Amino acid sequence: MGAQGFDQGVATLLKSYRDIPTGATVRLAKKTSNLFRKRAENPHPGLDVSGLDRVISVDRDAKTADVAGMCTYENLVAATLPYGLAPKVVPQLKTITLGGAVTGLGIESTSFRNGLPHESVLEIDVLTGDGEIITATPTNEHADIFFGFPNSYGTLGYSVRLKIELESVQPYVSLRHVRFDRIEDLQSAMAAIIAAGSYRDERVDYLDGVVFTADESYLTLGRQTDEPGPVSDYTGMDIFYRSIQDSTVAGSGASGTNSIGTDRLTIHDYLWRWDTDWFWCSRAFGAQNPRIRRFWPKKLLRSSFYWKLIALDHRYNIGDKLSARKGEPPNERVVQDIEVPIENTTAYVEWFLDNIPIEPIWLCPLRLREPAVIGSDPVRPWPLYPLEPRRTYVNIGFWSAVPVTPGDPGHTNKLIERKVADLDGHKSLYSESFYSPEEFDELYGGENYRLLKKRYDPRGRLLDLYAKAVKRQ
């Protein structure tokens, strides 16, 4: 992209801001989104971010990149891999933008050692509600919005440019899929791997898991390598999550005798292993049926196309109409990512499997990076999503639908919210939420958020976080 192209993109952005009528709500003019919550249509033109979708520069020696806010991780990875570098955390889907992952949180299998995407940000240019672009760093006069930006979902401003840390990567990733017959054994093994950074004396660079049933779950352990050899391809007929089950062979595990399967991918294909089938959600569109998949254009086996199908369903209620023809009730979408402390993983997963008819579910451990310390106490630097420093959490992701409960909209999602709170957890806000204002305040920054809103959006040009995440305005 280069600095000149970026400057032109910024000029276009600012012009589009000035074209929005005074008093109208400022929103992005985006054709796509990775949010699963409906919102009211914006009757006014949105911010034109079309010129902010590329990498500005990569510094190979410093292991950093300057990136425009609307650059997708697909484009970011394409720019950094030729240098043997990658973002410290690469969310699972190609169309997620860097700015979106920072303001809306992101996670992946490096999060047990690298934390969340916003922790790799060194500085950020933010377009505030007043139409001013400010540069925020951890130590300058705008440090408050630097730390308050994550989990604000565009209600404090929009990222224009981000300078981020990168890490060195090898050309291949060697995988081990370790099966567990009990969730509690998986939980214990996951904690031991995170503490040691290894499993059976082999380094672990990537760590996530899949639960198929209460007595069949897996941890997938990845190790970077430059050793040449054959690699698997899950961008065609073969499906990655099915390979986790299919590749296991007898072996000795950390807790009892487990099955251990092995695999190898290029680093590129490992980073995008979940995108081809949107984890396992492509089955809802018939894309995993071999007879259909054989004729499905390969270029359309990707999350960006499934998003278009979801958008059509949202617009025309296709799924509910098909259910009605079968005499079945409409569906309640249960599309969520939650985090609980690792010691509560078994309790949450077993409750979920007993009460919510959705499978598989995804597990991804995370720890915030080493925090600053004042006196003897670690500082909680991210006030709008206040996970505890030096504590391990597990992200649990589940993405499907269940029959609606008559007379109680959002019944299943409300059950999930209560259980997460009971287990000292948090829920991401990219999907539907049903919290009261008081509950929301307690969980997502309350007074800290109001102070930031007053400073950076005093005229209320941007939506309020509660209005956006819960009221779905």
163 and 266 in a single domain? The answer is no
Residue 290 counted as domain residue: no
| Distance separating alpha carbons of residues 356 and 413, to the nearest angstrom | 10
378: how many CB neighbours lie within 10 A of its CB? 16
Report whether pLDDT(17) > 80.
Answer: yes
Judge whether 351 lies within some domain. yes
pLDDT band at residue 254 using 50, 70 and 90 as cut-offs: very low
Alpha-carbon gap, residue 101 to 94, rounded angstroms: 12
Weakest-pLDDT range from 3-12, 150-159, 424-433, 443-452: 3-12
- For residue 24, is it within any domain? yes
Whether 6 and 145 share a structural domain: yes
Predicted pLDDT at 33? 58
Q: CA 74 from chain center: how many Å?
A: 14
Per-residue pLDDT tens digits for 446-457:
999 999 999 999
Which of 138, 169, 200 terminates a domain? The answer is 169
Residues in the chain, total: 473
* Confidence bin at 253 (pLDDT 50/70/90): very low
Count structural domains, the chain.
3
- The domain boundary residue, chosen from 143, 169, 195: 169
Specify the pLDDT at position 30.
67
Is 285 among the domain residues? no
The structure tokens 């391809």 sit at 233
CATH value at residue 383? 3.30.70
Structure tokens that stand for 22 in this block = 């005074």
Render pLDDT for 345-364 as a digit per residue (tens, 0 to 9): 999 999 999 999 999 999 99
pLDDT of 314 > 90? The answer is no
Q: Which is more confident, 106 or 322?
A: 106
| Within-domain flag for 327 | yes
CA pair distance 189, 219, nearest whole angstrom: 9
End-to-end Cα, the chain, rounded Å = 34
- Cβ pair 72, 97 in contact under 8 A: yes
**Together in a domain, 162 and 178:** no
Mean pLDDT, range 294-306, rounded to an integer: 93
Residue 100 lies in a domain: yes
- Please check whether residues 7 and 122 belong to one and the same domain: yes
Query: Is residue 247 over pLDDT 90?
Result: no
Residue corresponding to tokens 């089950």: 245
Q: Are residue 328 and residue 430 in the same domain, yes or no?
A: yes
Residue 250: predicted pLDDT: 38
Half-sphere exposure of residue 373: CA atoms within 13 angstroms, side-chain side? 5
Q: Are residues 401 and 360 located together in one domain of the fold?
A: yes
361, 239: one domain? no
Last residue in a domain, options 111, 143, 169 = 169
* Selection from 72-76, 307-311, 380-384 with the highest mean pLDDT: 72-76
CATH of the domain at 74: 3.30.465.10
Query: Is residue 349 in a domain?
Result: yes
Alpha helix positions (H), 135-205: 143-148, 183-196
CA dist 348 and 380 (Å) reads 25
Q: What is the pLDDT of residues 45-100, one digit of tens each?
A: 789 999 999 999 999 999 999 999 999 999 999 999 999 999 999 999 999 999 99
147 and 34 inside one domain: yes
Pair 158, 243 in one domain: no
Q: Are 148 and 227 in a shared domain? A: no
Assign 23 a pLDDT band (cuts: 50, 70, 90). Answer: confident
Range of the domain at 148: 2-169
In a domain, 312, yes or no: no
Whether residue 179 sits in one domain with residue 157: no
- Same domain for 39 and 108: yes
